[in-house]
Structure 1
Amino acid sequence: MTEPQPTPSPNASDLLGEPVPDADMELNVRELADVPSVEVISRAAVMLMSAAAEKLGLAAEDPDTAAERDLDEARRLITALAGLVTASVEYLGPHAGPVRDGLQTLQRAFREASTHPDAPGQGPGEKYTGPVY
Structure 2
Amino acid sequence: MTEPQPTEPPEPTGRTTDSEYGQHLDTAGTTDNVRDLDSVPSVEIISRSAVMLMSAAAEKLGLAEEDPDTAPVRDLDEARRLITALAGLITSSVEYLGPHAGAMRDGLQTLQRAFREASAEPDPPGQGPGEKYTGPVN
Query: Which TM-score band (shorter chain)?
Result: 0.7 to 0.9
Local SS of the residue matching 2:97: helix
CA RMSD of aligned residues (A): 2.3
Q: Would you say 1:40 and 2:45 are equivalent positions?
A: yes
Contact 2:10/2:27, CA 8 A, preserved across alignment: no
**How many residues are aligned here?**
122
User: What TM-score does the superposition give when structure 1 sets the normalisation length?
Assistant: 0.83
How many Å separate the matches in 1 of 2:130 and 2:43? Answer: 21
2:134 alignment partner in structure 1: 129
Contact 2:12/2:27, CA 8 A, preserved across alignment: no
% identity of equivalent residues: 75
1:99 alignment partner in structure 2: 104
Contact 2:54/2:83, CA 8 A, preserved across alignment: yes
1:50 alignment partner in structure 2: 55
Local SS of the residue matching 1:59: coil
> 1:26-50: per-residue Cα shift (whole Å, max 9, x none)?
7x53211010010000000000000
> 1:90-117: per-residue Cα shift (whole Å, max 9, x none)?
0000110000000000000000000000
2:17 alignment partner in structure 1: none
Gaps of 5+ in 2: 1-6, 15-25
Q: Would you say 1:65 and 2:73 are equivalent positions?
A: no
User: What TM-score does the superposition give when structure 2 sets the normalisation length?
Assistant: 0.80
Q: Would you say 1:83 and 2:88 are equivalent positions?
A: yes
Shift of 1:7: 8.5
Gaps of 5+ in 1: 1-5
Structure in which a larger fraction of residues adopt strand? 2
Local SS of the residue matching 2:94: helix
Rate the CA distance shift 1:116–1:11 in 2: closer, same or farther, 3 A: same
Shift of 1:11: 3.6
Larger radius of gyration: 1
> 1:37-93: per-residue Cα shift (whole Å, max 9, x none)?
100000000000000000000001110111110000000000000000000000000
**4+ aligned runs moved over 6 Å, structure 1:** none
How many Å separate the matches in 2 of 1:129 and 1:58? Answer: 22
